[in-house]
Amino acid sequence: MGHMNRFRDRADAGKYLAELLQKYAGDSDTLVLGLPRGGVVVAFEVARGLGAPMDIFLVRKLGVPGYEELAVGAIASGGILVINQDVAQSIRISQARIEEIATKEAKELKRREQAYRGNRPPIEVEGRTIIIVDDGLATGATMRAAVDALRKHNPHKIVVAVPVASLEACEEFRTKVDDIVCGITPEYFNAVGAWYDDFGQTSDEEVIHLLREINISRGNK
């Protein structure tokens, strides 16, 4: 199925991505994880298209005041902290300071996790084929953090899947994960939003609705 060089919206992009991931359909070990917020809309269509369960995986980059463009690390769902030692050394930031920043971000992560998931425990990742979905890859920093954090949960396989990516970002993941699927890799990438007709903000309500929807359709309340 060829695709025009842009998507109507995230749902359209998710349907297209599901086509490219058909080799993972019908495998009871497959779990689709969407990165909130925009990635969840794409992940919902992917999960539906593959007949797979879906959950969210929250990642927050740890920024350092004064070095906004550098992430010194990230925290992710399941209380996982990933530290980028190179960055930490280059800006001479102490472990204590990193932990201080992480604690603050962890509060926000917990708040969002609670808002999105309510009291439902996260779906078990260990030993499964995990397809991590976002609405696009620009620098790949958030996805890198998600992959590093997920690895600590011992999945069987990690697959990164996005509707649109810069060539560099897509290539970079080839050596980092078991499989990478990038729908379109435009030569002049510009920004993720440029490849969508409608790239409006995804609301928290929509994330909650889609998570509920997929769980009801799979018979888990």
For each of the domains in the chain, give its residue range(s) and CATH number, in order of start: 10-57+124-217 (3.40.50.2020), 60-117 (3.30.1310)
Cα Rg, the chain, nearest whole Å: 17
Token pair in block for residue 145: 């953090």
Per-residue pLDDT at 3:
54
Instruction: List, for residues 83-99, the tens digit of each pLDDT value.
Output: 988 888 988 888 899 99
In whole angstroms, give the CA distance from residue 38 to residue 109: 16
Residue-averaged pLDDT of the chain: 91
User: Which letter does DSSP use for residue 192 in this model?
Assistant: G
Q: How many helices (H) and strands (E) does the chain have?
A: 7, 8
User: Which letter does DSSP use for residue 165 in this model?
Assistant: B
Instruction: List, for residues 172-215, the tens digit of each pLDDT value.
Output: 999 999 999 999 999 899 899 999 999 999 999 999 999 999 87
Per-residue pLDDT at 221:
46
